[in-house]
Amino acid sequence: MEVKIIIPSHKRWSRVLTTSAVYGAALCVEESQAEQYRKCNPGIEIITHPDSVIGLTRKREWMIRNLGDVFMLDDDIDHLRRVYGESGEEPIVEPDLAYDIVQMTAHAARKAGAYLYGFAISPNPIRFSSLSPIQLSGYVTGCAHGVLSGSKLWYNGDIHCNEDFWISLLNAYHHRLIYKDTRFYWAQKDTFVNRGGLAEFRNVENEEKDFHLLRKVFGDVVELRKSTNKSNLKDPYQKTLKMPF
């Protein structure tokens, strides 16, 4: 089995980083933007979808319906890095090895009976447990996760900014099992405010709408994150999940 590594992108044809982070990834863009992406990304496969598919969540839904087993990476990924390792060891994973790691993780997920799979949510080695590098519960990040065919999973087009919360909660409800290799972390640049992409849809109003819709569907496992001395909130509707398993 080989999964397709896909980079969904929107109006960032000259600013895609992720094709340098992993070997063999394709870009998925609107038909009307395909030519600009081809000019700025020579040698990269371009997959097009109809312009009527608007927004990242609907784009993800189109991808899992039309492309089979997929692993999705945001277009602002700088590299894959090891969370574990000895002091002084180079943490950055080369693109060809990053490709192999994605394939092996997807294969392991399929063998374990999981449909949703991903990697560490934090690069902080303190959060890494060497005794349990593989997690079978929890949630994935939107910037780097995969969905295998045959699942009951789907992306709700009414979710504007938090499709990772939606798919993680839906997976917990239907399948209970997730597959996460926490030894590796996909490092982003220019998140949240980068021109184009999800930045066109991410605002406080849509974050609020997402919060109420997620609470309506999944209940009080969806909570508002509280500001602490260690971290400040980017907006009042930043969310956290209290997964029951």
Which tens digits make up the pLDDT trace of 137-156?
999 999 999 999 999 999 99
User: What pLDDT is attached to residue 184?
Assistant: 96
Instruction: Pick the more confident residue, 93 or 191.
Output: 93
Residue 89 has pLDDT above 90, yes or no: no
- Per-residue pLDDT for 39 more than 70? yes
Spell out the domains of the chain, with CATH numbers in brackets: 4-241 (3.90.550)
Strands in the chain per DSSP E: 4-8, 26-30, 46-49, 70-73, 77-82, 92-93, 116-119, 134-135, 144-147, 179-181, 184-188, 222-224, 239-241
Q: Tell me how far apart the alpha carbons of residues 18 and 245 are, in angstroms, rounded to a whole number.
A: 32
Q: What is the mean pLDDT of the chain?
A: 91
Q: Taking residues 28-36, what's their average pLDDT?
A: 98
DSSP string for 151-192: -S----TT-SS-HHHHHHHHHHHHT---EEETTEEEEESSTT
The answer to whether residue 223 scores a pLDDT higher than 60 is: yes
Please state, in angstroms and as integers, the Cα–Cα distance from residue 71 to each residue in 76, 121, 130, 235, following that order: 15, 16, 25, 29
Residue 161 neighbours by CB under 8 Å, 6+ apart = 198, 201, 202, 206, 207, 210
Q: Token pair 């997402």 is at which residue? A: 210
Q: Which range among 21-30, 42-51, 159-168, 198-207 shows the weakest confidence by mean pLDDT?
A: 198-207
> How many H helices and E strands in the chain?
5, 13
pLDDT of 190: 61
pLDDT at 235: 73
Q: Note the pLDDT of residue 193.
A: 47
pLDDT at 76 over 90: yes
Token couple for 98 = 């990053």
- Asked if residue 192 has pLDDT above 50, the reply is no
Report pTM. Answer: 0.91
Cβ count near 220 (within 10 Å): 7
pLDDT in the model for residue 88: 67
**Residue 125 has what pLDDT?**
85
How many percent of the chain have pLDDT more than 90?
A: 77
Amino acid in the structure at residue 12: R
Query: In angstroms, rounded to a whole number, what is the distance separating the alpha carbons of residues 101 and 103?
Result: 5
**Residue range 128-140: mean pLDDT, rounded:** 92
Over range 199-213, report the average pLDDT. 83
Residues in the chain: 245
